[in-house]
């Protein structure tokens, strides 16, 4: 499981890095040479979609969502675990249909391509769809870990979304 989580974190980080590099390169070229990278805007949008889906997978597994812990803070350890399992079920109930719909989008993208370089959108949407599936798989893994009681999180850290 640790390898899957590490790979998911790496994919999310690489795509964030690509966005930063593409943007910085385009700004530099535009300011210094009055030239811009073809499809840089479409490219950054598509890369951001990929990074978001893979980032959702990472945040889901680590329980790193923004949370208001008014109820969770006042519960005992067992109550916290129950609340975390409920939150995990809700998260999983959201991520599974989302992964399905993203794959539906991939299958429906057909021959759509970027504006300048005519790069097929299917490449980008497929990678994003894999990230949405990773999110659902990691949500299930986290839920399984919570239900078994062998999660590796700190007792004072909220486990749900």
Nearest to 117 by CA among 13, 43, 46: 43
Q: How far is CA 108 from the centre of its chain?
A: 21
Sort 43 into a burial class: Cβ within 10 Å, 0-12 / 13-18 / 19+: buried
pLDDT for residue 90: 92
pLDDT for residue 159: 46
pLDDT for residue 67: 65
pLDDT for residue 103: 87
Q: Of 35-44, 65-74, 117-126, 131-140, where does mean pLDDT reach its minimum?
A: 65-74
pLDDT for residue 107: 85
pLDDT for residue 68: 62
Distance CA 125, CA 99 (A): 11
Please give the structure tokens belonging to residue 128: 């994003």
Q: How far is CA 113 from CA 18, 117, 157, in A?
A: 19, 8, 44
Comparison of pLDDT for 68 and 11, the residue scoring more:
11
Distance CA 14, CA 154 (A): 28
| pLDDT, average across residues 54-82 | 83
pLDDT for residue 83: 87
pLDDT band at residue 151 using 50, 70 and 90 as cut-offs: low
pLDDT for residue 81: 87
pLDDT band at residue 154 using 50, 70 and 90 as cut-offs: very low
Give CA angle at 155 (9, 136), nearest 5°: 35
Domain segments of the chain as ranges: 2-148
| pLDDT, average across residues 124-146 | 92
CB 77 within 8 A of CB 155: yes
């Amino acid at each position: 499981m640790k390898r899957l989580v590490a790979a998911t974190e790496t994919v999310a980080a690489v795509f964030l890095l690509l966005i930063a590099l593409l943007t910085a390169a385009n700004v530099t070229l535009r300011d210094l040479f009055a030239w811009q990278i073809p499809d840089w805007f479409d490219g950054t949008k598509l890369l951001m979609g990929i990074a978001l889906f893979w980032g959702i997978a990472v945040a889901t597994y680590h329980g790193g969502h923004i949370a208001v812990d008014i109820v969770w803070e006042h519960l005992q350890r067992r109550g916290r675990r129950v609340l975390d399992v409920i939150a995990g079920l809700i998260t999983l109930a959201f991520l599974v249909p989302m992964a399905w719909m993203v794959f539906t989008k991939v299958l429906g993208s057909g021959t759509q391509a970027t504006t300048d370089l005519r790069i097929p959108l299917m490449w980008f949407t497929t990678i994003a769809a894999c990230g949405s599936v990773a999110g659902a798989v990691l949500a299930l893994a986290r839920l399984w870990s919570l239900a078994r009681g062998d999660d590796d999180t700190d007792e004072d850290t909220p486990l749900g979304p």
